Amino acid sequence: MLGRFSDLSVYKGIFKSRDFVKIIIGGVPIPAAFYLVPLQFPTGVIFRHEFVLRMPDGETIFNILLLLSIAVNGVPIIVGALKGIAAGKVNVDELVGIAIVACLVNGNLLEAAVINLIMVFGAFIEEAVSDRARSAIANLVAVTPQTALVESGGRQKRRPIAEIKVGDIVVVKAGEIIPVDGRILVGGASVDESLLTEDPLPVYRSVGDEVCAGTLNFDGHIKLSVQKTGEDATIGRIVQLVQEAEKSKVGGARIVDRYRAGPSRVPLLPEA
Closest CA to 172 of 162, 184, 160, 161: 184
Q: Assign domain 147-232 one CATH number from 2.20.28.160, 3.40.50.12780, 1.10.340.30, 2.70.150.10.
A: 2.70.150.10
Q: Residue 119: what pLDDT?
A: 85
Compare 109 and 13 and report the one with higher pLDDT: 109
Cα–Cα distance for residue pair 36/54, rounded to 1 Å: 17
Q: What is the DSSP letter of 177?
A: B
**Model confidence pTM above 0.75:** no
User: What's the CA gap between 235 and 243, in Å, rounded?
Assistant: 12
Proportion of the chain above pLDDT 90, given as a percent: 19
The pLDDT-based confidence of 272 (bands split at 50, 70, 90) is very low
The closest alpha carbon to 43, from 58, 55, 60, 61, belongs to 55
pLDDT at 123: 81
Q: Indicate whether 53 pLDDT > 50.
A: no
Q: Where do the domains of the chain lie? A: 8-141+249-265, 147-232
Per-residue pLDDT band for 107 (boundaries 50, 70, 90) equals: confident
Question: What is the C-alpha separation between 161 and 230, in angstroms, rounded?
Answer: 7
* Amino acid occupying residue 91: N
Tell me what the mean pLDDT of segment 170-188 comes to.
92
Listed in order, strand segments (DSSP E) in 55-188 are 147-152, 155-160, 169-172, 181-186
First to last CA, the chain: 38
Distance CA 15, CA 160 (A): 42
- CA atoms lying within 13 Å on the CB side of residue 173: 6
Q: Is the pLDDT of residue 127 over 70?
A: yes
Q: Is the separation of the CB atoms in 7 and 28 below 8 Å?
A: no
**DSSP assignment letter at 159:** E
pLDDT tier at 208 (50, 70, 90 boundaries)?
very high
Distances in Å between the alpha carbon of 46 and those of 49, 60, 243?
6, 21, 66
* H or E stretch covering 124: helix 109-143
Give every CB contact of residue 5 below 8 A, 6+ residues apart in sequence: 11, 132
pLDDT at 170: 95
Reported confidence tier of residue 37, pLDDT bands at 50, 70, 90? low
